Structure 1
Amino acid sequence: MEKSMEKNILEMRGISKSFPGVKALDNVCLKVKYGEVHAVCGENGAGKSTLIKILSGIYPKGSFEGELIVEGRQRQFANVRESEDAGIATIYQEIELIQELSIAENIFLGRQPNRFSVIDWMKVQAEAQEALKEVGITVDSMTKIKELGVGQQQLVEIAKALQRNAKVLVLDEPTASLSEGEVEILFTIVNKLRRRGVSCIYISHRLDEVFELADRVSVLRDGQYIGTEDVADITKDKLINMMVGRELKNLFPKENFERGEIGFEVKNLTVYDAVEKNRRLVDHVSFCARYGEILGIAGLVGAGRTEMIQGLIRALPGKTTGQVYIDKKEMKINNPIDAIRCGIGYVPEDRKGAGAVLGMSIKENITLASLKKIFRMFINGSRETAEADKYVSYLQIKTPSIEQKVENLSGGNQQKVVIGK
């Protein structure tokens, strides 16, 4: 291992990538050694996701400038399949498994072993079960993905990568939806892969994870390569300085505030499953929030936090009972439109699936849920522009124009658009 760790399995040289009106990457370099965990850090909009999409073949050859070197050989990927064939496996923050298919079907999707043009299902199940064993999952490989928790689904993604003999495993914000116990399992797997010589590119905003897991860290800022350091030789303050370009004395300064009267109250909220109609996803939950305070809602993955909020705004197909009060007045909420009218905003955990319309512009997304503000027989274009400009400025959304499609923004800026909406 010591000898192999001296060599690079992957080099990305002089990578540049532009979108309409913005240069996402400008002459970026990345070198990853055999058997190392290499963290990539940077603020929202730094270019991390764009770099990974180039490596994984989502942005194909010809759409960017620069060179990809894998195991000493120059490569050009026309699509994701070619990247995977070269030993690159990417696991994104948003789960990309097919929920209605089984674990085994997902692991072998597009690569099913066959005999005489007939899929060998016994081999599929057996080898999928072995892959699950590698990542510590004990469920049957024919279990449907939708029956698994988010943490287990992410482990299935890793099992899928291992089954395909990945040499470089890319993990994009892998712990965002995991419980503490699931994070420990993930770290154990990554360390086991490192001992086997598998390289890992680890993208995370959680610096504690970087210092616990990574061997080296590369930093991007505003689409440019800032530098690479051994984790053992760098402090957290220096890493933050590299990321933001200035010294931060206090990352999360505590602000003093005075709490006001109760402005929002939920009583006896009960949310039922749409299929098993007597099963309660949320059972008689009550809480309140005062003006000027941030109320945190905590719980493990699967505890019902998301179902509680979605039930509150009546965004789930199952039956929901309970009362919602604003300023001590009961609100009649039968659907999300009613919730919007009551002044309730919702930022979903699934940004791409439920939060933003990626093919529409920033301007259209921000005003989408409040068209009454800009509509008088027809959409008032100047007012729509003013509303969008206000929130782009307020939330510091990095974009050359409010006409930019949301799909061309970084993940963090996409999230800001959803918040602006």
Structure 2
Amino acid sequence: MFTGGYWSPNDRYLGGESSRVGTFTVEEFKMRRVLLIITEQLGYEDNMKKLSWFPPETPGTKVDIEDDETMDKIAHYGVGFGAATLYVVREDDPYIGRRTGWNTSLEDDENLWMENPDVGNVGEDGDGSSGGDSSDEAENVTEDESSGDGRRTNVDDKSYKKFELGQEYMSIDSFKNALHKYAVKKRRDIKYKKSDSTRVIAICSNGKCPWRICASINSSSPRVVVRTLQEEHNCTWQGKVTLLTYSRISEIYIEEFRLNPYFSAQQLQEKLLARNINVPWSKCERSRLDCLKKFDREQDEQFSRLFDYVYELKRANPGSTVELVVKGTEFEKFYVCFGALKSGWKAACRKILHLDGTFLKWRMNGMLLVACGRDPNDQMFPIAWGIVEKENTPN
């Protein structure tokens, strides 16, 4: 349940905080019970009682909850789906947030999905348009990228139009990326019926749904062309996206894990659930571990280039003292004192050194030591810094 926020003009929930409020039977899940939870359990005022939700059959449309009949519908949906998400705002003015300091809105989350080159650049109508003037884009279309009637048919990895017969993609991977974007943004459970180096056939996971698309490599060029397309769905949204693999999820939320190393699989699952996408905890945990492995590989790559870094520092800063100590293939300690800072301290600063250090957290497990002086303006003047092992018996 998201509580304490407000609605933007385009039905985005901004501000507020998210809470898990418990497990209920269908008979218990009534308006009165939910309003009591908001006031007594979550501590909000009586006025915070305008409830809304996004039905799975129309995930982009907000529906206000007015009576127990709607609550029964949500309860039955929650039984089949495992959970349901409600949004609560002030009844007198839904565009005023009670706790504006909180920011658990989906606005930033939406930007992640939209800007990622592999997932989510498709508009809600599937045409990838942004509402702006496309005349500039049309002027830049080459003859190779256009059909005979001037209509652009080439599609790249970053944006694409609605699927059409004869539409061209640069490669099989490019076409698969477009399918992934479509599945996530339209919240459709699509699976591959056939996928190899020359042809891809995708169908709806609901066996009775006629949606189907087939694309294969053009015999006269290396591009991939849409050969068969049945674009209408007659199935309902079930909260599952098979093409949203753990690696795709980690690509979308890798910056979230980078900024918050304690971001848990459960929090990731709740973020996806707020988008009406049901992902098992195990897949979220695999995504989390995949991000951590990527961070380790990035760190290994950076440490492997430390000798290049030392060489470049000495070359670009004559008179500098740079020391790197390794034990076998493992990093041990590192020290830097730039020549300009050294001569500046000798020439103009007080002959006093301030020494300090701090522990490095998470994967580093060492200490950062710093030596500073005081300049004539009585400001801190950095002189040297180093990274060493944390204090122990041997050192």
Scaled to the shorter chain, the TM-score interval is under 0.3
User: Highest Rg: 1 or 2?
Assistant: 2
Normalized against structure 2, the TM-score is what? 0.25
